[in-house]
Amino acid sequence: MTLIHVFPGQGSHRPGIGKDLFPEFPHLVRQADSVLGRSITDLCLNASAAELTDTRNTQTAMYVVGALSYLDAVRTTGRVPDAVAGHSLGEYVALFAAGTFDFLTGLEIVVRRGELMAKAPEGGMAAVMGPDPERIREVLTRHAPGVDVANLNAPGQTVVSGPRDQIKELGTAFGDEARAVVPLKVGGPFHSRYMADAAEEFGAFLAQYRLGPPRIEVVSNVTARPYGSDDPAGLLTRQIASPVRWTESVEYLLGHPDAEFRELGPGEVLTGLVTQIRAARRALSPTA
């Protein structure tokens, strides 16, 4: 059996996350407080939904809770996963789990990532349910040329990103072709062309760190394949403005012997996506 831990990103946040974890890791909570200049416990447990949706707060909260969830899982089960992957921000938790950076360094990097992404132009994201990605791109080219494909989450579920005015018109643009077009509670047009400046600035920021190669397999959002032995900074920089290739990442991991996925962190969004991807794979190849 191949144990695979997966870590969610923005969209899985909600007030109250981490409640049971913070008392178990007081030294790491103190480290987080020192980096943030505020109480991570207060942010996660007492902030309003609107405050927690601010990408600067969402990213730090999800990283801390994800990292503590991983440490708690290893401590309670006694087993380190064979491979890890994270969705967008969740990839930082995966890299922490793989030893690319320590908890404090990862948090410093995530804080800066959130700050830069919060400076992006006004925009939003929406999940388009039904059409395949190529058809979505055709519709966007014709009716919403400022909108990009951002997350390839599962067969029949693709997230797009761009200016809010064009995002709002997507229901009309897709009409009956889409089962639904669902706006997401995020603070900007992430994983799109509009993040190019943030990515460039983030790459310059990462240059001050020496990031180690992962000690266990980490699948990259950008390539849908494992990180190599090179410095991970290049892939992390590209990730900000590139689509999250989650379907391909899970399909790659499903090729491991007897793959067993365990989602760590708030919610079960990724668990649902893995189930959809696995089902679609079996439909195409019943022996898979």
Query: Residue 283: its pLDDT value, please?
Result: 80
DSSP H helical ranges for the chain: 26-36, 40-46, 49-53, 55-77, 90-97, 103-118, 133-143, 164-168, 170-174, 196-206, 233-239, 246-254, 269-284
Per-residue pLDDT at 288: 53
Domains within the chain, CATH numbers bracketed:
2-120+193-284 (3.40.366.10), 124-183 (3.30.70.250)
Is 191 an active-site residue?
yes
Six-digit token string for 156 = 């029949």
Catalytic one of 12, 88, 242, 249: 88
pLDDT bin (cut points 50, 70, 90) of residue 25 is: very high
> Is 88 labeled as catalytic in the residue annotation?
yes
96 and 212 Cβ atoms separated by less than 8 Å: no
- Average pLDDT for residues 236-258, to the nearest whole number? 98
Q: Note the pTM of the prediction, 2 decimals.
A: 0.95
Distances (CA, A) of 236 to 7, 100, 207: 16, 12, 11
Cα dihedral sign for 150, 155, 157, 163? positive
**Average of pLDDT values for 228-247?**
94
Catalytic residue among 13, 87, 191, 249: 191
pLDDT (tens digit per residue) in 35-84: 999 999 999 999 998 898 899 999 999 999 999 999 999 999 999 999 99
